[in-house]
Structure 1
Amino acid sequence: MDGLLQRAKGDKVIWTIVAFLSVVSLLAVYSSTGSLAYRMRQGHTEYYLIKQLTVLGLGLLIIYFAHKVNYTVYSRIAQLGMLISIPLLCYTLAFGRNLNSAARWINLPVINLTFQTSDIAKLALFMYVSRMLSRKQGVITDFKTGFLPIILPVGFICLLIMPANMSTALLLGASCMLLCFIGRVPVKFLAAMVGCMAGIVLLMFIFAKLSGNDLRTKTWIARVESFMGGGDKEQPYQVQQANIAIAEGGILGKGPGNSNQRNFLPHPYSDFIYAIIIEEYGIFGAFLILMAYMLLLLRSIRIFKRCPYAFGAFLALGLSFTLVIQALCNMAVNVHLFPVTGVTLPMVSMGGSSVIFTSLAIGIILSVSRNVEETELKRIEKERMERVLQQQREAGLNMAV
């Protein structure tokens, strides 16, 4: 492991976090899918472990090749990514695969791969926002020329994601607003945008009620009411089972593979994998997972502060924001600090396209880090050569005297 870390470029701590989360993912997915694999795969309990190992291996390759690319290339493909994302999101709303009354996935017919188009949109949007923030710093306080070109695509992408995936749209919008705040966008502009988005969400609820197509709104309202303790329903079944898993985990947990709630908890390998981790590894294991994401954010902030160019700084920070905020939201749902949503735990939950695009995001962060390190090494080498030349000149003068 030390040899691999020495050969890898970029922030070594982030590489270590990726390796740690990958190991946790394999352990947690194998444990939480044992019963599922036995039922669905005729007793082949290692099926999902092998599948997750393959996806994580592909993800590590993507991280490696993405971090070898100069991050300025991503600025040039940001607009292309946006142009691709918008038609894909529209297609998903109209013809996407429907699961739990939400059209979030599309199938690629030739290779039979299913993926969420919102994953592509998130990555493209952060590259675009980072690009625009870096280019608009001179006029960032002007509403028309500075703020609108940045925020309009954010609002449009969030609106396309919102009907099928409200939680992802809200998290994406919040992450972009936070990045805009760091990019010196005036608070009054951001407050106005929050008000507009709240009004749009309200209009969506009203339209759904009037049109009679309010299945998703009923789901949203029921989740909020159950979380707040309102309505005439008790806590959702998955929340009850997650609470049992957490209670049984205790401080040190029941040990790897000893979870009972994996047999009762819906989606224990994706949305509620953190509850399984707590049951098997206890509060101590849950704390390590939380600290891993916090450390990822801190290292990205360090990259942000050291990066000499605005685009790279905003890109690294923005991508880390979306990963860490998504992770915190998933963990909050699992411990019942947040209403039930459909977000997964990045690099830990079982998945295909989500792991791929998360890996690409981490690879881009490491690309910025690698270029920062190379720039600093060149600066240090230049300063060393200047000192050597200065010493040689001084030595020549002394000999002449």
Structure 2
Amino acid sequence: MHRILNNTKGDRWIWLIVILLSVISLLAVYSSVGTLAFKQGKGAEIILMKHVFMMIGGIAIMYFSHKLDYRYYAGISKLLMIVTVPLLLYTLFFGAHINGASRWIPIPGTGLSFQTSDLAKLALITYLARSLSRKQENIKDVKQSFIPIMGAVCLVFALIGPANLSTGLMLFGVSILLLIIGRISIKQIAVVCLAGAVLLAGMLTFGGRKGTHASRVKVFLHPELADKDQLFQANHAKIAIASGGVFGKGPGNSTEKNYLPEAFSDEIYAIIIEEYGLVGGVALVGIYLFLLYRCIKIVTKAPKAFGALLACGLSFSLAIQAFANMAVAVGLGPVTGVPLPFVSMGGTSILFTSVAFGIILSVSKDIEEPKKKKEKETDNSGPNKIIVGEISVA
């Protein structure tokens, strides 16, 4: 264990945040899986142990991801895009349908399902970071720079959006942010936004889930016109939050976990507030804000454009997803199927989130190592040392 800790590099605060989120996740998931365990005829401990193994696997993947120099991800990004596009196409037409959406590909023999949009996030963000950093000299060139970048963004959005519009919109927003930081002209960004708006209009008009999207937005904007079934999830989330008070009911004492669908995933923030109160809810918001702050510091100090864009895209993707989940729970947005990063119970989503954390830590490690090396050289050449040729005498 001591050897592993010595080999752990990168921003120590981010490692601490990961540990805190892991502890919060284990407590919240164990409390909220009772109804799921009853439906499946299992004990809650069995489901918790499965979640524990996924968390341990995620932290292990994070460790190995951060040990790999982040520059290698530039080459990996091309392979990821080549693999991602066919997988998204397969998922769209042949994926497993859960809750009316085709977002998953079952992994044979494991009992797990693989959500291809999680892979698409990593693939697109790493690809954009690579493309923008390598095309800075001719970034204004439409043919060489703009068209390939715009094509990648719109293609991934078009493949994710029909089944998972909320994730597609968040990823599209992060992509626009990267284009702005990558010095793409405002006119070209406007063209990308226009193309995205056309694709969005097409999904809402002709998509297989057009009724679901329209219904959720309508219920959010005009709840007085909705029936009880449409308001069921939103109302019980509000009940959970209101009954939590300032300090909450205490760990495991939630009652709304028995009513809220996906209490262990999409609505886990409402359960956390019910059990830990306003204090717990604000503390969790603070953890994600502090994570974003540490990531921004990494972005500003990164010596290479690729590292800065990579850390920026991944950190904002995690932060936007977190705040989108919490906004839905407190009634500030329409119902979506977005989990809370590294807190909600999930399978492969935890693993891909861990890879994102690992890459951010890899960029952070690249910043810290030259600094430590410089400090070491300064210590070795201090007033208590006399350097004679290659020999240092105290």
- Settle same-fold status: TM greater than 0.5: yes
Cα distance between partner residues in 2 of 1:313 and 1:383? 27
Q: Percent identity?
A: 48
- Say if 2:225 is the partner of 1:225: no
**Residues 213-362 of structure 1: pairs in structure 2 closer than 5 A:** 214=208, 216-229=209-222, 232-234=225-227, 236-362=231-357
Residue 71 (structure 2) pairs with residue 78 (structure 1): no
Contact kept in structure 2, 1:41 and 1:47, CA below 8 Å: no
User: Any conservation in 1 of the 2:204–2:213 contact (CA below 8 Å)?
Assistant: no
Mapped to 2, the partners of 1:4 and 1:88 lie a distance apart of 35
CA contact (8 A) 2:223 2:231 kept: no
The amino acid that maps onto 1:31 is S
Give SS of 1:98's match: strand
Identify which range, 254-263 or 183-192, moves more after superposition: 183-192
- Which has the larger displacement, 176-185 or 253-262? 176-185
Separation (CA, whole Å) in 2 of partners of 1:370 and 1:224:
43
Q: CA 1:84–1:231 in 2, change beyond 3 Å: closer, same or farther?
A: farther
Query: C-alpha distance in 2, partners of 1:118/1:167?
Result: 11
CA contact (8 A) 1:225 1:231 kept: no
CA distance in 1, matches of 2:214, 2:67: 45
Which residue number in structure 2 is paired with residue 363 of structure 1? 358
Q: Distance in 1 between matches of 2:205 and 2:75?
A: 40
Tell me, yes or no, if structure 1 residue 19 matches structure 2 residue 19.
yes
After superposition, where does 1:2-401 map in structure 2 within 5 Å?
Answer: 8-42=8-42, 44-208=43-207, 214=208, 216-229=209-222, 232-234=225-227, 236-382=231-377
User: Does the 8 Å contact 1:5/1:12 carry over to 2?
Assistant: no
Structure 2: distance between partners of 1:146 and 1:87? 23
Q: Is the 8 A contact 1:32 1:276 kept in 2?
A: yes
Alpha-carbon contact 2:381-2:387 (below 8 Å) kept:
no
CA distance in 1, matches of 2:59, 2:223: 44
Gap change, CA 1:296 and 1:5, over 3 Å in 2: farther
CA distance in structure 1 between the partners assigned to 2:336 and 2:243 by the alignment: 23
Matched pairs, number: 386
Please give the per-residue CA displacement for 1:7-42, whole angstroms capped at 9, x wherever unaligned.
Answer: 521100000000000000000000001232134234
Check whether the contact 1:5–1:15 (CA below 8 A) recurs between aligned residues. no
1:107 positional shift: 1.3
Query: Hey, what's the Cα distance between the residues in 2 that align with 1:291 and 1:183?
Result: 29
Task: Name the CA distance, whole Å, in 2 between partners of 1:147 and 1:133.
Answer: 10
CA separation of 1:316 and 1:192: change in aligned 2, threshold 3 A:
same
Mind listing any 5+ residue stretches in structure 1 that lack a counterpart? Answer: 209-213, 394-401
Amino acid at match of 2:107: L
| Aligned partner letter, 1:290 | V
More deviation, 223-232/86-95: 223-232
Q: Secondary structure at the match of 1:278?
A: helix
Q: CA deviation at 1:175?
A: 0.8
Matching residue's letter, 1:23: V
Bigger mean CA offset, 12-21 vs 92-101 = 92-101
Structure 2: how far apart are the matches of 1:318 and 1:15? 19
Rounded to whole Å, the distance in 1 between the matches of 2:51 and 2:41 is 15
Q: Considering only aligned residues, what root-mean-square deviation do their CA atoms show, in Å?
A: 2.3
Q: Distance in 2 between matches of 1:287 and 1:3?
A: 36
Whether the aligned pair in 1 keeps the contact of 2:248 and 2:278 (CA below 8 Å) is yes
Post-superposition shift, 1:329? 0.4
- Between stretches 266-275 and 185-194, larger displacement belongs to 185-194
Counterpart-to-counterpart distance in 1, 2:4 and 2:34: 31
